[in-house]
Every structure is written in C-alpha cells, then in structure tokens.
Structure 1
Amino acid sequence: MAPDSASPQDIENSPGLLEELAAGVPGILFSYWLSADTTRRSFPFISSRVNDLLGVSVQTLKHDARAMSSLLHPEEVSGLLPSLLESARTLEPWHYQARIRLRDGTYRWFEGHSLPRRLDDGSTLWFGQFTDIQQHKELEFGLRESEAEADYQLRFHKLIASLSSDFINSAIGDIDHEISRFLARIGGFFEVDRVYVYRFSEDLTRMTNTHEWCRQGVDEVRGTQQDVDITGFQWWQQQTHDVLQQNRVVFIEDVRQLPEHAMAERQLLAEQNVAAMFCIPIVVLGRVEGFFGMDSLTVRSWRRDLSDLLILVANLLSQALERYRLEQELLNQSILDPLTGIHNRRYLEPRVEEMLAHYQRTGEGFALAMLDIDHFKQVNDVFGHLAGDHVLQRFAGLLQDQCRGTDIAARYGGEEFVVALADVSPESASSGLARVLELVRALEVTFHGQAIRVTASAGLVHVTELSPTSLSPDSLITEADRRLYRAKAAGRNCLVDASASSRL
C-alpha cells in the first residue's frame, strides 16, 4: 500500500511512530529507569533531540543515564539524585530545574517533569519531558534583580538620610564620634574591609589618617599613616588633580595592575594588603581638605554605579565637615578674643561655674588669678596702640603656653586677664603664678626695633579660702580682683594671695 493511502491503523502500528511523535515536541521526551537497589539508571527511551541539543547520543543514555548527569551545572548536580529518590519513594511526580550544558558549551535552563510507576521487580520507571525554560528563568531573574536593585537603592537612600540626620543633630564636640559612626555604617553597607578619612596639609604635600574603621579581623593602618610625605606619589597626585577637574572617583580595581610609574603607590598599598580601593576628595568651603576612601583586601566585582553612590557619600561627609567648620568659626568668634586668640570672658564664666560645681561634688580644689599688665597705658602713649596690641598678644600667648589642658586662660577686658588653675592646692597655685610673673619679667618684646619692658601684677584666690556659704564665680573673681588691687598698691610687678604678702 502506498504511504499516502496508509490507514490510521497502519500508522499507529508503525515502528517509528514514537520517535516521530517525540521529534515534533519542542522539548525532550523520555522514560527514565532506576533499579530497585538505586545503583543503576538509564533512559529506556529518549528522543533524538537530545543529541541535537546536548551532543550526547541516545544509545549512550539508554545504557547509562549518568552521561546526562554529567551535563548538569555543578551547582545543580547535588540535588538531582535526592529528588529522584524521594519521587521513587512516594511515587509523587518528579520536578527538577537545572542548567544543562548544550552542544556549544553554553548552559541553558531546563525543567524536568515526569510521572513515576513502580515495576514488578521493585524498580521505578518515569515518563516525562525536559522543557526549555530559559526565557522564563531570564524573566524571573530579571524581576528578582529589579526587586533587589529597588531594595538596594531604597536601603542606600535611607542610609544617607539617616547619616545626614545624625550629622545635623550632632553637637560640635561630637563630630569625631559621628565620623567614626559614619565610616562604620558605610563599611557595613558596602561590605568592604576598611573605610577611612585622610586630611591633607595646607600645602598638599603631606597626609594624615584622621579616622578609620576596619572590618573585624582586618589590621588598622592609622598608626602608620600620620603626617605621611606624599611628594613622591606623582601618579596619585595626578589622579587627585584629574578627579577634581572631572568630578569623578579614583578607582583602583586591582592594585597589581597599577602602572610602572605608580610603583611607590603600589608598594604602600601592598604593605597594607589592599587589593582594590576607591578614593573621593573631601572639599570644604571650596578647598580640598583630604579624601574619603574604601579598601578591599581581595579583588572583587563592583557595582557599575558604585562611583556615583560614593560621590553622594563623600558629598555628605564634605557637607557635614563644612557645617562643622562654619559652626566652629561662629563658636570661636563668640568665645575667643579676636585680638589675642585666647578665650574671652563669655567663655570663662561658665567654665568657672563648672569647676566650682566639680569642687562641690568631689572636693577637688582650684584657684583663680586676676592679672594686669603694669603701666599698659604708658605703652600705648609711648609706643602707640599697635605696639600695645602686640604686647597684649605676647602676654596672652605666654599665659596660654603655661596653662595645662585643664586650665583656662582668658582675656577679661582691656589689659586684664584671668587664669583658672584646675586641681591645685593653694601652695602649688601660688608657686605657679609666681613662676608666670617671672616669665613675664623675662619676656622680650620688641616693636619696630624698640624694646618694650613688660611686667604684671596678680591677685590669686583659692576656692578653699572663701566661706562655702558665699562661694560663687562672682565671689571668686571679686576676691581675685581685690587682691590684684592690693598688688598694684604694693608697687606692682608682684603677686598677692591669701597670705596678704607681695612676692617680688
């Protein structure tokens, strides 16, 4: 009978019918057999498309199914056999998704779906199909990436908002603490090993690591990065210049790939075990103050937009430092004497209140001295007011130099100054003030070639010398001023304390 006149029954009984049907299906039809002891497995039937797509022969798979397993992506191999064993045990449908290596060596996602049947000898036979799900996976991964990116951007902007709020709400004295917290949160967010801030010298020839955060287990380098001479880092200086001109980030993806003329930079980074790094300048009030940077101790993949994100981070830090600088200048203008540079009366009075409160809590004594430059009006009359200003500056500088970190020197008004000495006894306070007056006598002051002799008188009071019921900052200052008047009456150039004696 001619093929075009074959009956339906003839077609149904044709030997190649199953293969022809399988060839017309987009996926790969198969039957899969697993022995009862699970040691042997094969594909009794698998459509010839397996050879076209995967480059493995049907005969090979009929003999041993492991040839198919060897094509799975390494990340999907471990779950295959457990999923088959579970399906064999429960006789529930088998589902499995995996990347399979194609004939050209690339991987593509397939899904296996089959129904199991238990055979009389205890083995299991599955009937199913491998379906190409690459487009579905790409869509799935694309959606996941979009969701992950949206989440990342949201977390980043929340971080920036939170950091900005922290800086805005911080007090001036907390700036170092806030910068340290800032670095820790940035380091954690970007999952790097080290985050830091360097400050340049005025002439941009030296740099100092002022703040540093390190991931646990990573060595700090701040101790070795103080006042580092960078004049030999020509490549680095050119990079910094280019960054400022082009508003971009210095990104060293792999320190080992630095050019030969950056050998000094490569050596320094290698000593710190840095494999990759980012650096962004910190600009405050229009001037480059230093840079903010991040290190990775391993070469890694980075986000394409990481430079843009880090510019936002560095700008936030620059704005915080600029605000701090402006606030510091305003504060200094209010509490520093503009002529001499030491503290003024406005700063002194609340500090004396603090020292008094501390004394009343702990019993730790302190002393207050009022000093006056002798015959200061004559200096102005003979040498001029500019010479008088010079004398005030030199005198204030001497007082400031003699103060410890806990002491306070302030210009009280005109040629009068106050020194508050913390944690001293009456005897040590008197000897200290006597030494200051000796240094004043030895002070060499010249103005336009003319020598100006400077001496001072002082009145000193110790907190223990006044009645507890009358103790106050005003009473201390009043008593010191009274003793200063007595020192002047005694001929000046001397100190009067509780002993009522003048020490010449």
Structure 2
Amino acid sequence: MHDQQDSDGPGQDSQTFYNKLITSVPGILYTFWASADGSKQRFPYVSQRVNDWFGLEPEALQKSADGLFGIVHPDDLAGILESIQTSALDLTVWKHCARLKLTSGEYQWFEGYSVPERLSDGSILWYGQFHNIQQYKELEQTLRESEAEHSYQAAFQKLIADLSKEFINLHFGTIDECINELLKKIGQFFGVDRAYLFSFLDNYQYMTSTHEWVRPGSPPQIGSQQNVYIGGYPWWQEQIIGMVNDDKVVFVPDASVLPDLATGDRELLMRRGVCSMFVVPVKVRGRVTGFFGVDSLRQRRWREDQGDLLIVVSGLLSGVLERHNLEQKLLSQSIRDPLTGLHNRRYLMPRLYEMLGRAARNQETFAVAMFDIDHFKQINDSLGHLAGDYVLTEIAGILEQQTRGMDVVARFGGEEFVVAYSLEQSDDVGRMVARILQAVRDHNFRYESFPIEVTVSAGIAAVTDLPKIPSSPDPVIGKADRYLYLAKQAGRDCFVDASGTYRI
C-alpha cells in the first residue's frame, strides 16, 4: 500500500502535478527575463492561460516578450517599460497595472506582481504573476464617479444657496448687477460660453435680451438681440409656445442639424457661433415672461439632468424678478400720485436737487413752472369732488401731452402742479407754458354731460433769476409760487415770470 501511494503522488509525475496546480491559480504565473543591457526580453515560463486570454502561444513568448508587449494599451506601454527599468535598476519588487487586449478585442485591466533576481551574467529574472482586476477598476470608477457626482451636486446646491442669500439681501435698485453676477457664476459653473436672460414683449410677438454674460473671448450678442420679431422664426415660435403652455425645456444638441422648418433659426444660431444650447422658461406670478438660456460655442457633452439643473436656476430668477416687480410697484406707488398718475413731490424734489447739481457743475440751466387751476373750489362746491377729480386728471393728461420726456411733471398738492424744464439755450420756457394755458382753455371739459369752463394760472422761475445757485430747490419753488400768486392777482388765466405778466 505504501508503494502504491508513492506512485500516485506528485513525485511520480511532477510536471502533471504542477500544471494542475498552476491551472488552479486565478491569474497567470510567469518568469520574465531581461538581458543585462535590456535589449532582449522573454518569458522562460508562462502558464497556458496566456493563450486562453490573449491568444498568445507560450512557446512564442519563451523566445521573445514582444507578443505580450504588443497587446498592452498604447497609453499604458511607456509606464510598463519604465517600471521594469526601475525594478531592474534597484532590484525592487515590480508591481504595475495596465490594460491588455483580450482575444475579443476588448481591453481590460490587469495587475502584475513579481520579484526580481540578478543572475551571474548580469541579466535579471523576475518570478511572479498577473491577474485580471477589471471588476475592481469598474468598482473604483463607479465609486469615483459617485463621489464626483456627490461633489458636483453639493457644489451646485451651495452655489444656489449662496445666490439665494445674495438675492435675499438684495439692495434696492441693484437687481441688474445681481442678475449679471448670477449669469456669470452659473455660466462658469456649467462651463458654457454664454448665459443670458430674455423677456417677451407684445403678447409673445417680440423678445429682447435684458442681461448677458459671455466667457472672455466669446462675442457678446445682447446688442443685436433687442426687440426681435419672433414671427420671423417659425421653429422658435413653436418652442416658445411649448415653453408658455407646457413649461417645455428647449434643448438643441447640434444647431447645424435643426429641421427644415428651422432654416432661419439655424442660420441665426450658426452666425452667432452656437453649437448647442439649453433654454428654460422664466415665470413671474405663474406667467411665462421670458427665458433663461446657455450656449456652447463648441461641441460638448451635456449632463443628462442639465435641464433639471437649469430649471432650478430659472426658479431662482423667477423669484428675483417677481420681487423686483413688487418693489417697482411699491416704488411707483410711493412716488406717484394715485389719482392722476403723475409723479408726486417725493419724486420731484430729488430731481430738482439733481438739476441744481448740474447747474453748479456744468452751468446747465432749468426753470420751474407752477400751475394752479383757477376757481377750483367752485368746481368742487358746485359739481362735487368727483367732478374736481375729473378736472385734475384731465389737467394731468394735458401737462403730459404738452411737455417733453426730459421735463419732470408732478402734482405738487391739491390743485397745484409743477413742471421742471431742463433748458437749452434756444428754449423759450414762456412759450411752452403758454401752450399749456392755451391747451387747457381749448380742452372740452365735460363731467356727466355738464360742461366745465377751466383755466389755469402759472408762475415761472428760472434758476438764473436767483442771485446765485441755491443749495436746495426751495428758493426756486418759492419764487415760482410768488409769481403764481401775482398771476392770480392779475386776473388768472395768465402766467408771470421775471419779465412780467403774459396773457394768451
């Protein structure tokens, strides 16, 4: 029995035994030899699995290692050769990862490990193995991508939180600067070339660019995107309908292959250098009032959730614009007379201070005309206060029609109105005031079928009428008020200035 056991053991057929043992190893066992000068390299021994995985014959590799180096990924070859040289020089353990081409043509990651030994002739012999680590690389890549995605989402959330905080602390009158800053930060975060905000006009017939950020070196477009007629671009008109009715996100992955309907749109985008773009609607109080978009001037790969991220930005912009509209409404209410719609004294006084400043710095001149409705109390007493309100609103309309955009028209209080005229050398303020008096006299005032005869009196004071430019508007207003009083004393329906009384 003892002899029979010896005959069945590894000693009887050691080659068969070691071949079976090697096949149980998950990787490839090998010895790798390099000549002393490094010019020759071969595998004195390599297990049969090298043929199964890579289609390489062990016998061929015993003569030259070129076959195995030939299946190394081109990007990894230099690193392998350098690591072998380092191991040979220092006689340190060789350990390296690289991609090798399988018989299927696919590259997969392998890791090699071997211990070097210097032979008597100066050559080096390594003893080791290499095995497939593709699954570990894929897991590593998945974890890396997961970590990168987590970092990206965290960075985006922080960006939105920071921008939200900035808008919460937004100072009055700084909305344009804050929107421009938002476009810049969003544009840089997403790595685009342009970020912009458009508003719709005339029931979605026109659109105009209100804000724009461009990457340095990219041409700005805001100047050429004012009051653009949308009807000239039928494909884009369809996209706007989708945004307005269905909150649609518009994604153009390649502007050069837009459909035939979009010929004009394609030409426009190509002229602007746009390769791809994303556009999302912007709402104010539930209504789409414009859109926010980003352009790329080069081919790029967008995130699958890019539209969702831009919708978050659009929501932030919507909130900001809604707040701005509310602030503008409150501002308008605070500086406008609720009955006539004219500016009030709260608005007038800062404008007069500005005029005084320009007069002091640049010798610009201006005049203040104060108007008062003649016998206004009689109108109220005979026809009622509603009739008086009617006359006030009609007078306000005449003042707006008979003045220029550069003039400031305000209801000063009661039945008194003020017009502050910015004057050029050729301007005749007396003639302009006379036109207003004539327009009031000719106007058909009729309240509930009752005709009302209305005239006004005026006093005119120019800043040049004063000995010196005052520090406040009070002296100019005071002099205009004094001249108005003189016009009343002179019989009404006339105006008085520094030269005297004038009737129409």
- Does the TM-score normalized on the shorter chain lie above 0.5? yes
**Distance (whole Å) between structure 2 residues aligned to residue 244 and residue 52 of structure 1:** 62
- Counterpart of 2:11 in 1: which secondary structure? helix
- The question of 1:77 aligning with 2:38 is answered no
Q: Secondary structure at the match of 1:219?
A: coil
SS in 2 for 1:347: helix
After superposition, the Cα gap between the structure-2 partners of 1:185 and 1:58, relative to the gap in structure 1 and judged at 3 Å, is same
Distance 1:90 1:189 in 2: 47
SS of residue in 1 equivalent to 2:33: strand
Find the aligned partners of 1:34 and 1:323 in 2 and give their Cα distance.
76
Q: Distance in 2 between matches of 1:463 and 1:222?
A: 43
Aligned residue in 1 for 2:399: 396
Relative to 1, partners in 2 of residues 1:256 and 1:56: Cα closer, same or farther, differing over 3 Å?
A: farther
What amino acid maps onto 1:465 in structure 2?
L
**Equivalent position SS for 2:231:** coil
1:123-154 per-residue CA deviation (whole Å, 9 max, x = no partner) reads 33222211211222222222222221111111
Deviates more, 1:488-497 or 1:235-244: 488-497
Contact 1:281-1:288 within 8 A present in 2 as well? yes
Q: Does structure 1 conserve the Cα–Cα contact (< 8 Å) formed by 2:369 and 2:461? A: yes
* Pair 1:3–1:386, CA change in 2 (3 A): same
1:7–1:348 Cα change, 3 Å: same
- Of all paired residues, the percent bearing the same amino acid is 42
- Aligned twin of 2:113: 113
Unaligned runs of 5+ in 1: none
Shift of 1:414: 3.3
Residues in 2 aligned to 1:268 and 1:188: alpha-carbon distance in whole angstroms: 24
Written as runs of structure 1 = structure 2, the 5 A alignment for 1:327-476 is 327-353=327-353, 362=361, 367=366, 369-373=368-372, 375=374, 377=376, 385=388, 388-398=391-401, 401-404=403-406, 408-421=408-421, 428=425, 431-441=427-437, 443=439, 445-446=443-444, 456-462=457-463, 465=466, 471-476=471-476
Q: How does 1:91-110 map to 2 (within 5 A)?
A: 91-110=91-110
Structure-2 change in CA distance of 1:302 and 1:439 (3 Å): same
User: Which residue matches 2:171?
Assistant: 171
* Alpha carbons of structure 1 residues 56 and 346: separation in structure 2 relative to 1, 3 Å: same
The 3-state SS of whatever aligns with 1:343 is: coil
* Distance (Å, rounded) in 2 between the aligned partners of 1:27 and 1:85: 23
From the superposition, tell whether residues 488 and 69 of structure 1 become closer, same or farther in structure 2 (CA, over 3 Å): farther
Q: Following the alignment from structure 2 to structure 1, what is the Cα–Cα distance between the partners of residues 207 and 375?
A: 44
CA distance in 1, matches of 2:429, 2:461: 8
Please say if residues 339 and 393 of structure 2, whose CA atoms lie closer than 8 Å, have aligned partners that are also in contact: no
State the shift of 1:266 in Å. 2.0
- Measured at CA, do residues 54 and 464 of structure 1 come closer, stay the same or move farther in structure 2, by a change above 3 Å? farther
Residues 437 and 475 (structure 1), Cα distance of their counterparts in 2 relative to 1, 3 Å cut: closer
Rounded to whole Å, the distance in 2 between the matches of 1:496 and 1:90 is 107
Shift of 1:72: 2.8
1:24–1:465 Cα change, 3 Å:
same
CA separation of 1:39/1:210 partners in 2, compared to 1, >3 Å: closer, same or farther?
farther
CA contact (8 A) 1:440 1:454 kept: no
Q: Is the 1:459–1:484 Cα contact (8 Å) retained in structure 2?
A: yes
Alpha-carbon deviation of 1:239?
2.8
Mapped contact 1:460–1:495 kept (Cα < 8 A): no
1:478 and 2:474 aligned: no
TM-superposed CA distance for 1:346, in Å, is 2.0
Amino acid at match of 1:147: E
AA matched with 1:372: F
SS at match of 1:226: coil
Q: Secondary structure at the match of 1:337?
A: coil
Q: Give the letter aligned to residue 440 of structure 1.
A: I
Q: In structure 2, do the counterparts of structure 1 residues 103 and 408 end up closer, same or farther at CA, with 3 Å as the change threshold?
A: same
Match of 2:7 in 1: 5
Aligned: 1:49 with 2:45: no
Aligned to 2:258: 258
CA distance in 2 between counterparts of 1:92 and 1:354 reads 83
Does the Cα contact within 8 Å between 1:33 and 1:42 map onto a contact in 2? Answer: yes
Amino acid aligned to 2:179:
I
Q: How far has the Cα of 1:50 moved from its partner?
A: 1.5
Which amino acid is the alignment partner of residue 502 of structure 1? T
Judged with a 3 Å threshold, the aligned counterparts in structure 2 of structure 1 residues 111 and 477 are, in CA distance, closer, same or farther, namely: same
Partners of 2:353 and 2:278 in 1: CA distance: 48
Which piece of structure 1 moves more, 59-68 or 410-419?
59-68
Q: What is the CA-CA distance between 1:98 and the residue it aligns to?
A: 1.9
Compute the displacement of 1:464 (Å). Answer: 7.7
CA drift of 1:421 comes to 4.9
Task: Look up the equivalent residue of 1:396 and give its one-letter code.
Answer: L
**SS of structure 2 residue aligned to 1:29:** strand
Structure 1 residue 312: deviation in Å? 0.7
Rounded to whole Å, the distance in 1 between the matches of 2:487 and 2:34 is 112
User: 1:457-499 CA distances to partner (integer Å, 9 max, x unpaired)?
Assistant: 223142782678x8544444323211221233345555544x4
Matches within 5 A, 1:146-225: 146-225=146-225
| C-alpha distance 435-123 of structure 1, shift in aligned 2 (>3 A) | farther
Compute the TM-score of the two structures, normalised by the length of structure 1: 0.86
What CA RMSD, in Å, does the superposition of the two structures yield over aligned residues? 3.3
Aligned partner letter, 2:399: A
Letter in 2 for 1:9: G
Change (3 A) 1:389 1:493: closer
